[in-house]
Amino acid sequence: MNISQTIDHTLLRATATEAEIKAICEEAIAYQFKTVCVPTCYVPIAADLLKGTEIGITTVVGFPLGNETAATKAFQAKEAVVNGASDIDTVINIGALKDEKYDYVQFDIEEVVKAAKAADPKTIVKVIIETCYLTKEEIIKATELVIAAGADFVKTSTGFGTGGATLEDVKLMKQTAGNQIQVKASGGISDAETATAMIEAGATRLGVSKSIAIVTGQKVTDGGSY
């Protein structure tokens, strides 16, 4: 298993600077990560830095709360793809899920999928359901809605909630998704042992900021959040 090719090398901190974005792009080239994951404002810079490589660019939509309007999320997704993003990670409307407004939750996801894939049909759309706020039943329902909306991945976490990925949640999402869509685990993954366990549980993509520690076997102590 080439763990580097499961990693979205992530920098989404509010204080992220252009120099830091350049650094993670250079790291992605050096370690051959699948993508870099950067804020939308830095997508054009990352696209220029990674031109001519096979490294993709992930960015986030409706992040981290998910309570923008569907139209706002769709515009953000389209703009990001036009600017060079290969992957869109969008946050569901968590409150609508809690209110059992399932038609709206699915519509909200569908609008992002349509906008992103209209800009480029090859765009990968991952949907963050923020598992730390959900019951097991809600995780199952959210995963089903992601499938119905035509997205490519269901993703555990933003990294900004009250908790990140857990093996239990990843297994439940994979069990629900089957082979219909893939699972991305993110939040709190900071070492090779945890990363490997997430993959064995069913994740095919990892959102991590401690990517180099994971691929080199280093130990870190600050949790591996975004």
Q: Active site residue: 89, 108, 152, 169, which one?
A: 89
Is-cis flag, bond preceding 64, omega within 30? yes
Q: Active site residue: 117, 141, 174, 184, which one?
A: 184
CB-based contact 125:133 (threshold 8 Å): no
**For residue 69, how many other CB atoms are within 10 A of its CB?**
12
Residue 109: strand, helix, or coil: helix
Using the structure block, give the residue that is written with the tokens 């790291």: 27
Instruction: Say whether 155 is catalytic.
Output: yes
Q: Residue type at 56?
A: G
Instruction: Say whether 89 is catalytic.
Output: yes
Which stretches of 62-207 are DSSP H helices?
Answer: 70-82, 94-98, 102-119, 136-148, 167-177, 192-201
Q: Active site residue: 34, 73, 141, 155, which one?
A: 155
CB-based contact 152:126 (threshold 8 Å): yes
Instruction: Say whether 152 is catalytic.
Output: no
Catalytic residue numbers read 89, 155, 184
